[in-house]
A and B are shown apart, each in its own frame.
Chain A
Amino acid sequence: MSTYAQKKGFGATLWDFLTTVDHKKIAILYLIAGGFFFVVGGLEAMFIRIQLAVPNNDFVSAGLYNEIMTMHGTTMIFLAAMPLVFAFMNAVMPLQIGARDVAFPFVNALGFWLFFFGGVFLNLSWFLGGAPDAGWTSYASLAIASKGHGVDFYVLGLQISGIGTLIGGINFLVTIINMRAPGMTYMRMPLFTWSTFVTSALILFAFPPLTVGLVLMMFDRLFGANFFEVTMGGNTVIWEHLFWIFGHPEVYILILPAFGIFSETFAIFSRKRLFGYSSMVFALVLIGFLGFMVWAHHMFTTGLGPVANAIFAVATMAIGVPTGIKIFNWLFTMWGGSVKFTTPMLYAVSFIPSFVAGGVTGVMLASAAADYQYHDTYFVVAHFHYVIVGGVVLAILAGTHLYWPKMFGTMLNETMGKITFTLFLIGFHLTFFIQHFLGLWGMPRRVFTYLPGQGFETANMVSTVGAFFMAVGVIVLLINIIVTSARNVRVGNDPWGDGRTLEWAIPSPPPFYNFKQLPLVRGLDAYWLEKMEGKMAMTPAEPIGDIHMPNASFLPFTIALGLFIAAFGAMYHVDHKPWALPVMVIGLLVTFASMFLRSVKDDHGFHIHKEDLIEKTDKGVEA
């Protein structure tokens, strides 16, 4: 038995996770933290739907509604969807390219802790005088006027977690560029790895404008600057531009990994090579590129003029073309395949009509002239929930079932998985389909209540009932996770039986060094290729040798903790609290001292010796 699999006490396990630099454990951390924030954001969604169930409701007050609505959007995008997507990227991508870890394991851990502390900071606003209330887009005209510290929590929390995301993106890019196994050419990479690659490039170029926007707003609110103060020469439209130059690529940052998960799912459970592989890759790259050309379609009613609106309308519609290519390729992958309707496959199949519906309303919204009617109505709310829930959330649920055995070594219960799927899908369409019509009938978004007799009652009640279906679906999933973990039936390398890519060629969960010998990749779907030729395992590309591994470190935690502390100082310094400035200085000192320590203390990692690896094989512990 290898040492790392032995039973450890709670304290030792906790310390292990606080200091880990192993991509598989960081994936579990992202999954737990992202799952927690998903539940928090979900509760906020339920409060929204309860408040809107009947007209003139007073379940929450108008001000509290603004906070709940803002935090629902912010939490779901930054603290739930992105980390959950990062969980799968961390868990699967290095395995898919045959790497032993990511390029910068230390930075990987740092990225997680920055995201985590940023998220905790943002959510502490509930207990410290009120949450942000200017919407998840936090338009400057509203945000500058917002009283209290809510928007400060938004600005500082997102800056901290944004740095984490940025360095995570760079890490994935370098990993894919430099650390592919022998024979793993770019055009043999699995689609999920390709989507991680394109997504990471989008993160790299999209997050800096957000950082700048947040810095400007922080300067305005906390340090007396005048970027958005019109009487001092400022201009609030700058925020709109910076936010959407980030914000539009952000939605592709979320949806492209979803496309990746579904591409894997369709191929595995149709037991057939993905149709049109190279056009799938091309479409991913093209969507990523066009994603930067369309930000002003969020600003059609800002008044940029007909020329700008026309250009951005056309560019937006152009994105429909590569997306359409992908939809047809998925359909053709199933065509003639021997399709197995497992839980992930059910999500994948239902994703197609759901997401296409969101795409159709997207093209409707892209028509600038028509957008003047849809803008700021529930039609927009319906549209983006169709692409984000119907795309990203379905993919996250599919990925949870698909990769659970690879991450934890045990299968989620299929029956309960299908119950979750049925409840969630019905609930999703019940909640959001009717909202298209609410929007077209004239119900504005972001209102905390509405009057009776305007024809909104029935539709809102239907929508609320649907939300409860989704909530019950998620509860069944949580029960499934608990039951599965308690039973803990161990599974082998390829629990679905039809795995195609390298991650299914190694044990579940993989040993901490992933591959004893780096595999030789002979084509697309490398593992499937070997299986079709009757081989049980990958052909090794190297003799058994010493494996170099990075050391665990507590410094990522302290670097992130320092910024978390400093953010409190920065925020309360406007209230002239005497302790604020020292707290800010202490926080920054913790961060910089940790960075300095990391710089001056050499960290060469350690080697797993050849003899230990061979010994394990002889005892038959590791395959």
Chain B
Amino acid sequence: MQVEEKFTYETWPAHSEKATLEAKNKFIGFWLFLGGETVLFASLFATYLALKDKVPNTSMPHAKDLFELPLTFAATMLLLTSSLTSVYAMYHMKNFAFRKMMLWLGLTALLGAGFLGLEIYEFTNYVHEGHTFTSSAFGSAFYTLVGFHGGHVAFGLLWCLTLMFRNSKRGLDLYNAPKFYVFSLYWHFIDVVWVFIFTVVYLMGMVG
């Protein structure tokens, strides 16, 4: 199958994300990359758990003094929903519905931006309470773990917007279908990482 070939709804292959060798390579390669990313976040989680609540003097805020459930719950909902909207985008890609795919991708980016906004708001709150990147080992570990995730979300946003901008006029083909698909894999991955952050950092932080 040629990469630049024009398709219609009828001729669009069932697995457009893996139809060419380049696409298959991209697919496997990206899964492997996510394997490496898993180890990266595992290392950051281990560091966080080792340094949790390790502050130079006891008057400084601990995890249970800082975290507030309503805010992180809202952030979680935004990010989980954005994962769902990216699934809808992929559903429309499989059905060769380019406009609808772009719409759902746009919604995904919007929700991701909302999440990022909440995270920045949350971080400024903590800074006002004296919990900063440089105030303690706990602070360094917290901002590094959660910030690495936030950085991944920010990169994902840029990626999503670049994809949408570049392909806005040309529709779907076998050259860009795997690119959209790989982005959605990445987006799910950062969502899964957030589920762990929500559990390990926030829920476990609040129970002590």
Contacts and interface: CB of A to CB of B under 8 A. Distances in A.
B29 A204 contact: no
Contact of A233 (B39, B40, B138, B175): B138
A466 to B, nearest CB: 40
**Which range contains the number of B residues in contact with the other chain?**
35 or more
Contact of B56 (A103, A233, A602): A233
B39 A209 contact: yes
B25 A208 contact: no
A141 to B, nearest CB: 14
B144 A233 contact: no
Contact of B162 (A170, A233, A600): A600
Contact of A224 (B32, B39, B134, B144): B134
B139 interface: yes
Interface in B163-192: 163, 165-166, 175
A226 B32 contact: no
Contact of B166 (A216, A224, A232, A599): A599
Contacts of B37: 208
Interface stretch (A30-38, A172-180, A316-324, A432-440): A172-180
B3 interface: yes
A223 B133 contact: yes
A78 B63 CA distance: 39
B47 A227 contact: yes
Given A208-B39, A216-B144, A219-B140, A234 B51 contact: yes
Nearest to B53: A233
Contacts of A233: 51, 54-56, 136-138
A213 to B, nearest CB: 8
Contacts of B50: 235, 238
B15 to A, nearest CB: 15
A604 B32 contact: no
Contacts of B144: 215-216, 219, 225, 227
Classify chain A: how many residues form its interface, as a range. Answer: 35 or more
B43 A212 contact: yes
Contact of A232 (B4, B28, B47, B56): B56
A96 to B, nearest CB: 18
Given A205-B35, A208-B40, A599-B166, A224 B133 contact: yes
A229 B35 CA distance: 31
A232 B6 CA distance: 61
A274 interface: no
A225 B140 contact: yes
Given A233-B136, A235-B54, A204 B36 contact: yes
A242 B137 contact: no
A221 to B, nearest CB: 12
Contact of A604 (B47, B141, B175): B175
B144 to A, nearest CB: 7
B43 to A, nearest CB: 4
B25 A174 contact: yes
Nearest to B47: A238
A225 B39 contact: no
A546 to B, nearest CB: 11
B44 to A, nearest CB: 6
B33 A170 contact: yes
B134 A208 contact: no
B14 interface: no
A202 to B, nearest CB: 11
Contacts of B166: 599-600
Interface string B132-161: 011111111100100000000000000000
Contacts of A171: 29
Contacts of B29: 103-104, 170-171, 173-174
B24 interface: yes
B21 interface: yes
A232 B35 contact: no
Contacts of B21: 178-179
A211 interface: yes
B28 A177 contact: yes
Contacts of A204: 32, 35-36
Interface core residue of B4, B39, B139 (most chain A CB under 10 Å): B39
A596 interface: yes
B2 to A, nearest CB: 10
Contacts of A212: 40, 43-44, 47
A205 B38 CA distance: 9
Contacts of B24: 178
Contacts of A213: 43
A599 B163 CA distance: 8
11 contacts: A104-B29, A170-B33, A204-B32, A204-B36, A208-B40, A209-B43, A224-B133, A226-B140, A233-B136, A234-B137, A596-B162
Given A209-B39, A232-B136, 10 more contacts: A174-B28, A177-B28, A178-B21, A205-B35, A213-B43, A224-B134, A227-B140, A233-B136, A238-B50, A599-B166
Interface of B: 3-4, 21, 24-25, 28-29, 32-33, 35-37, 39-40, 43-44, 46-47, 50-51, 54-56, 133-141, 144, 162-163, 165-166, 175
Interface of A: 103-104, 166, 170-171, 173-174, 177-179, 204-205, 207-209, 211-213, 215-216, 219-220, 223-227, 229, 231-235, 238, 241-242, 245, 596, 599-600, 602, 604
- Top 8 nearest A-B pairs by Cβ distance? A233-B54, A233-B137, A225-B140, A208-B40, A212-B43, A224-B134, A234-B137, A103-B25
